[in-house]
């Protein structure tokens, strides 16, 4: 299969940005991460860091003078015929328990009216899909999950909330995500997870990482409180929600 060709910009004295368009999709995500690996294999001795995002790859070089000597066109020609690794790999599938009941679903009733679907339909559409964690950002540990079911597309809030609680699960536009800490935010809140997505009590504070597979699982208020108690008393309790899968 022919590789997507990125557009290239020089964005600083030591940086180049390669863009694969504006669409958020699994195909673009795969191109971005394959291109990141390709750049490292081609320019490793020149590079300080390569940073992939939803649809761009930013290359940071060790010296500004390098950008005057490298041949970008030649590298892009090589990219055309670059073969991605098609072997199976092990990744993590994370189950995120979510209580979609009050008081955790502040915007669910309004969304019912906006899209003309019942609460049960909304919960089913949101929790049936297996999402890919495309990137972590915005807040420490905040997962960006694309490919929300189009039936759930709703605009973000006109006026963002001053405080969104930790663990709140929101939707906005074509995306869904989880607030890892209390913060301001403009996403529509449809539930909350008791899992600690970000915690300084752990050796690795970040529970999720780019490339993880993630699926939401509805739980009752009672189940939520039970898991929340477990999280408070065992900083490693999150691990029982992780499963390794072969893809």
7-80 and 90-246: identical CATH topology: no
Please give the C-alpha separations between residue 119 and each of 100, 126, 151, in angstroms, as whole numbers: 9, 11, 13
Phi–psi pair at 2, nearest 5 degrees: -70, 135
Per-residue pLDDT of the chain (247 residues; tens, 9 = 90+): 567 889 999 999 999 999 998 877 778 888 898 999 999 999 989 999 998 887 899 999 999 888 888 889 999 999 988 877 655 567 899 999 999 999 999 999 999 999 999 999 999 999 999 999 988 887 888 998 878 999 999 999 999 999 999 999 999 998 899 999 999 999 999 999 999 999 888 888 899 988 899 999 999 999 999 999 999 888 778 889 999 887 6
For the chain, domain boundaries: 7-80, 90-246
Block residue for tokens 């055309």? 80
Q: Number of helices (H) and strands (E) in the chain: give both, helices first.
A: 5, 14
The CATH number given to 7-80 is 3.30.1360.40
CA atoms lying within 13 Å on the CB side of residue 54: 14
The tokens describing 76, both together, are 């892009």
Q: Which residues pair with 189 in a beta bridge?
A: 170
Is residue 19 within 8 A of residue 4, CB to CB? The reply is no
Rounded Cα distance, 170 and 176, in Å: 6
Record: fold of 90-246: Cyclophilin (2.40.100)
- Give the distance from CA 226 to its chain's centroid: 27
């Amino acid at each position: 299969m022919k590789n997507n060709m990125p557009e290239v910009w020089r964005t600083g004295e030591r940086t180049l940005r390669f863009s694969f368009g504006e669409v958020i999709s699994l195909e673009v995500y795969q191109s971005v991460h394959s291109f990141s690996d390709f750049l490292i294999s081609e320019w490793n001795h020149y590079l300080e860091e390569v940073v992939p995002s939803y649809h761009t790859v930013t290359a940071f070089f060790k010296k500004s003078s390098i950008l005057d000597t490298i041949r970008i066109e030649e590298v892009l020609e090589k990219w055309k015929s670059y073969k991605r690794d098609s072997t199976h790999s092990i990744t993590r599938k994370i189950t995120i328990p979510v209580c979609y009941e009050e008081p955790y679903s502040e915007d669910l009733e309004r969304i019912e009216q906006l899209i003309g679907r019942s609460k049960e339909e909304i919960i089913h559409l949101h929790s049936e899909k297996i999402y890919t964690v495309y990137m972590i950002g915005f807040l420490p540990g905040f997962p960006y999950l694309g490919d929300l079911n189009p039936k759930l597309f709703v605009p973000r809030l006109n006026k963002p909330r001053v405080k969104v609680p930790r663990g709140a699960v929101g939707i906005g536009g074509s995306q869904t995500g989880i607030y890892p800490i209390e913060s301001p935010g403009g996403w529509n809140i449809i539930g909350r997870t008791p899992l600690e997505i970000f915690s300084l009590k752990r050796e690795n504070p970040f529970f999720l990482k780019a490339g993880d597979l993630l699926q939401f699982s509805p739980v009752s208020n009672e189940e939520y409180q039970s898991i929340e108690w477990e999280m408070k008393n065992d900083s490693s309790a999150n691990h029982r929600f992780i499963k390794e899968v072969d893809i």
